[in-house]
Amino acid sequence: MSSQSTLVTPPIATVFGGSGFVGRYIVQALVRDGWRVRVAVRRPNEATFTMPYGRVGQVQPIQANIRDEDSTLAAIRGASAVVNCVGILYPHGKQELDAVQVEGAERIARLAKAEGVQQLLHLSAIGADADSASINARTKGQGEQAVLAAFPEASILRPSLVFGTEDSFFNRFGTMAADLPLIPMIGGATRFQPVYVDDIALAAAKILRGDAKPGTYELGGPDIETFRQLLERLVSTIRRRRVLVPVPAGLAKLGAHLLNLLPKLTFGILPNSILTPGQVIQLQQDNVVADDAMTFDDLGIVPRDMDGILDSYLWRFRPSGQFSDILESAKNLR
């Protein structure tokens, strides 16, 4: 008597922006759950580092530009789940905020619905508001509206400030603190609720497993700190003494508008990646989870705090880098 095993082909998840900061962690979480993952990016040759996340052939970078109908459709076709992690902080060339965060988000949702995709997960941000004075928050909000109009049962994740090894916040200010005696600070009293990137990935995986109901979730960690407190935490972690210099909102806005001339003066070669008017507006608005929002609690996830995690990657900004602990310990020798 012989037995015959049945091979079950794992489902496919397409992750747009899967090589980005948050996207790569979502890809890893999906791989652990057994998905075959398409990492849909504009330059797949720059996303080959994601391939070892899974078994041979389980993770495949593919070319897709969410501003383009055909390549977006090709990336979605045959997938059971689609995740959109694409977002930008500032425009550069054809990568305009409207084109990426509104039109691109709508295109993914519309094509996913037309192709019979079972689940759609859209990464947004706390503060997304279609009526915001900040173009960053406004396009995020309009993108959410477009996604839900095309794919009503989609889930949306709205994280606060995201931290992790490749983050743009602590690494950016860590670099600044390592090189400069002063750190400019806009909106020092603005509150944030930093969330660990891997916890966002856990939330995404749980929703796509069907272990949580669809909806909009606001994701924040256990710590709520002001911008000043976060910078103080940073300089303490990297063991440097730095002066935090408050920058008035009016002066910051003027500087941001002047920096916005950079792309025009360089014929689009250099973007304004330093500070935009929209970012100045957002830095004056609290970025914490709303009282009536669905959160990690509704997902059964206990988010991790910053203690310990920041040490694991910010050590490189210390005066002696990885040898700081050894040198400080040596000072105590008699």
Element (H, E) at 73: helix 69-76
The distance of Cα 161 from the centroid of its chain, to the nearest Å, equals: 8
Q: Looking at the chain, how many residues does it have? A: 334
Query: Model pTM greater than 0.75?
Result: yes
pLDDT score for 8: 77
Residue ranges covered by each domain of the chain: 12-246+269-321
**Which amino acid makes up residue 107?**
R
pLDDT score for 3: 46
- In terms of DSSP bridges, do strands 191-192 and 225-226 run parallel, antiparallel, or are they unpaired? antiparallel
- Give the angle subtended at the CA of 272 by the CAs of 275 and 15, to the nearest 5°: 90
Could you tell me if 214 and 206 are in contact, meaning their C-beta atoms sit under 8 angstroms apart? no
Q: Which residues contact 325 (CB under 8 A, 6 or more apart)?
A: none
Could you count the other beta carbons within 10 Å of the beta carbon of residue 104? Answer: 26
pLDDT tens series, the chain, 334 aa: 344 555 678 999 999 999 999 999 999 999 999 999 999 999 999 999 999 999 999 999 999 999 999 999 999 999 999 999 999 999 998 999 999 999 999 999 999 999 999 999 999 999 999 999 999 999 999 999 999 999 999 999 999 999 999 999 999 999 999 999 999 999 999 999 999 999 999 999 999 999 999 999 999 999 999 999 999 999 999 999 999 999 999 999 999 999 999 888 998 889 999 899 999 999 999 999 999 999 999 999 999 999 989 999 999 999 977 766 666 666 666 5
pLDDT score for 268: 86
Helix, strand or coil, per DSSP, at residue 84: strand
Taking every pair of C-alpha atoms in the chain, what is the biggest distance, in angstroms? 82
Per CATH, the number for 12-246+269-321 is: 3.40.50.720
Q: In degrees rounded to 5, what are phi and psi of residue 21? A: -55, -55
Closest to 282 (Cα-Cα) out of 84, 139, 101, 143: 139
pLDDT score for 2: 42
